[in-house]
Amino acid sequence: MSERKPAPPPEHFNTGDMKRDWDARARACAREYILTGFADQPEGFVRSGREAAASLLAFCAPGAVVLDLGCGVGRVARELEAYVAEIHAVDVSAEMIRQAREYVGPGSRIRFHVNDGFTLPQLAVGSVDFAFSLLTMHHVTRPAFESYLRELHRILKPGGRFWFSVVSRDRSPAYDVDDARDTFTGRSYSDAELDRLLRGRFQEERRWFTQSGEGHWRVTYVNLVVGKLCEGAD
């Protein structure tokens, strides 16, 4: 297999705002921006990471290499570390990663990386068995989401899986966001858009829906587990 390099961000893609804003949110209160309502619930925050990790174990063989994309302070990676061979935790925010290293402690084997919000240059072709991105992919811009899908196809092993969620546009009709400037509010995708973005790269294995928020901000998320397709698959 040839060593393909990740494509650089297009010239119009501005990762600086995303980095700046998430660094500021991490300094203000990382727990609150990772899980709304958990600013004053450190025990609940830890418990949520343990529960999330438990839901991922079915995809993580003991010898697996795992990627946590949008890891924040390592809430889930810390709880998953003992069950896998190697775990990479990536975030666009250097401040989140700084806090993550403190959160997991000095004995951790987790390999933390600050990325550009667009590519995953730290990871080689076909090096990852399972990748997950919890409460993250709806925050990134559309160009970033598309780039991450390309990158995940590059780094996953044949048959490797990716678990993620975004806001369902078809099921959240009143939901809207300024795609050009908003670095927090979740982007929404229709079923047709997701099918287009995944086509030729990933095969859907599981899809389910969850709801979150209240009033105007009550939305439906579409959660997916997808498996990597071989090159040229349709």
Of 2 and 212, more confident? 212
| Cβ contact 123:3 at 8 Å | no
CATH class held by domain 16-228: alpha beta
Residues in the chain: 234
Higher per-residue confidence, 216 vs 118: 118
For residue 109, pLDDT beyond 50: yes
- Evaluate whether 61 touches 129 at the Cβ level (below 8 Å): yes
**Is the per-residue pLDDT at 180 higher than 80?**
no
In whole angstroms, give the CA distance from residue 52 to residue 75: 9
Tens digit of each residue's pLDDT (9 = 90 or more) over 55-79: 999 999 889 999 999 999 999 999 9
Residue 222's contacts (CB-CB under 8 Å, 6 or more residues apart) are: 165, 166, 167, 168, 171, 189, 191, 194, 207, 208, 209
pLDDT at 46: 97
Distance CA 36, CA 150 (A): 30
